[in-house]
C-alpha cells in the first residue's frame, strides 16, 4: 500500500505572566493574516526544515512578540485533523511562566498586535488554542506539587504572603495557609531575613528570600508537595 502523508509541524507557546497579588496573564497575538485574521491566538508557527522544535518556538516568540525567554517546557502534541483549515498540521506546544515587566512586547511578522491578557478575561482564541491553553494551565497547576515555583517571579526579598498569593493565583483556590507555611519552611528553600516590610497601617511582615542552592537541588530532584486547600 502506498503511503500518502502530507503533514506539517508547528509549535505554539503558552507564556503565562505573573504579577504580584493575584494577577496571572497569558501572552497573545492578534493574527494579521488568514485564517482567523484579527482574532487572538497563541504565538507560534511552522517549523522550518533546518530547525529543531526548540529553535522554532523561540524564533516564533521573538518574531511575533519581541519576547526572548530562556526556558520553555514541552507540554503536549495536538494533531486533530482539520485543526488548521489550510493544511494537516501537528502542533507541539510549550509553556512557561515569567514576569511580564521583564519584557518589552512588540508585534511583528504576521502578528498585527500583541498583548498580555488576564487569564480570567481571555478572548475567544483561534484554531484549538483554547484547548492548548487549558492543558497548559492544568500542567502548571499540577507542577506545583512536584517542583518548587517562585524563584524568578517574586522579588529577591518578599513577605511570605506573596508566595501564598502566587500559589493561590495559579491554583485559583484558597489554600490552608498555616499548613502551607509549615510545609514550605520545612523544605528549606526559603529563609527568613532580619528585615521587616511595613505597608500602610497593617501589621509589619517579616521578609523572606529563596535559598538558591536548596531551591535548585529540589528543582532537579524528586519533590513532592501536597497542598492542602482551605
Q: Which helix (H) or strand (E) holds 215?
A: helix 212-219
| pLDDT tens profile 58-102 | 999 999 999 999 889 999 999 999 999 999 999 999 999 999 988
* CATH class belonging to 7-135: alpha beta
Of 164, 141, 156, 151, the closest CA to residue 70 belongs to 151
DSSP-derived letter for residue 223 is -
The answer on pLDDT for 125 being more than 80 is yes
- The owner of cell 493565583 is 169
Query: E strand or H helix at 56, and its extent?
Result: helix 53-65
pLDDT in tens, 162-220: 999 999 999 999 999 999 999 999 999 999 999 988 766 667 889 999 999 998 888 88
Q: What's the confidence (pLDDT) of residue 37?
A: 96
Contact 160, 180 (CB under 8 A): no
The CA distance from 225 to 184, in Å, is 8
Q: What is the pLDDT of residue 19?
A: 86
Q: What is the mean pLDDT of residues 32-46?
A: 96
Assess whether the region 7-135 and the region 158-219 belong to the same CATH fold: no
Beta carbons of 40 and 29 less than 8 angstroms apart: yes
Supply the pLDDT for residue 70. Answer: 84
Domain range list for the chain: 7-135, 158-219
β-bridge mates for residue 40, sequence order: 30, 125
d(CA 195, CA 212): 18
pTM exceeds cut of 0.85? yes
Q: What is the pLDDT of residue 200?
A: 63
C-alpha cell at 199: 505597608
Q: What angle do CA 158, 103, 212 make, to 5 degrees?
A: 35
Question: Would you state the pLDDT for residue 152?
Answer: 86
Residue range 11-38: mean pLDDT, rounded: 93
pLDDT of residue 203: 76
| Residue 194 burial (CB count, 10 A) | 6
The CATH number, out of the four listed (1.10.3470.10, 1.10.10.10, 3.20.20.10, 3.90.550.10), of the domain defined by the range 158-219:
1.10.10.10
Amino acid at each position: 500500500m502506498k503511503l500518502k502523508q502530507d503533514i506539517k509541524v508547528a509549535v505554539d507557546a503558552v507564556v503565562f505572566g505573573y504579577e504580584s497579588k493575584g494577577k496571572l496573564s497569558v501572552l497573545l497575538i492578534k493574527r494579521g493574516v488568514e485564517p482567523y485574521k484579527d482574532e487572538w491566538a497563541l504565538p507560534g508557527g511552522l517549523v522550518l526544515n533546518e530547525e529543531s522544535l526548540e529553535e522554532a518556538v523561540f524564533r516564533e516568540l521573538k518574531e511575533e512578540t519581541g519576547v526572548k525567554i530562556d526556558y520553555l517546557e514541552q507540554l503536549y502534541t495536538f494533531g486533530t485533523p482539520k485543526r488548521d483549515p489550510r493544511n494537516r498540521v501537528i502542533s507541539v506546544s510549550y509553556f512557561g511562566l515569567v514576569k511580564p515587566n521583564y519584557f518589552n512586547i512588540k508585534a511583528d511578522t504576521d502578528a498585527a498586535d500583541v498583548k498580555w491578557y488576564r487569564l480570567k478575561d481571555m478572548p475567544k482564541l483561534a484554531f484549538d488554542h483554547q484547548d492548548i491553553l487549558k492543558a497548559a494551565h492544568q500542567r502548571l497547576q499540577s507542577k506545583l506539587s512536584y517542583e518548587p515555583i517562585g524563584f524568578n517571579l517574586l522579588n529577591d526579598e518578599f513577605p511570605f504572603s506573596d508566595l501564598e498569593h502566587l500559589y493561590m493565583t495559579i491554583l485559583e483556590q484558597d489554600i490552608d495557609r498555616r499548613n502551607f507555611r509549615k510545609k514550605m519552611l520545612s523544605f528549606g528553600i526559603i529563609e527568613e531575613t532580619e528585615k521587616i516590610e511595613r505597608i500602610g497601617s497593617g501589621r509589619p511582615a517579616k521578609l523572606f528570600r529563596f535559598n538558591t542552592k536548596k531551591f535548585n537541588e529540589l528543582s532537579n530532584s524528586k519533590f513532592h508537595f501536597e497542598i492542602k486547600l482551605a
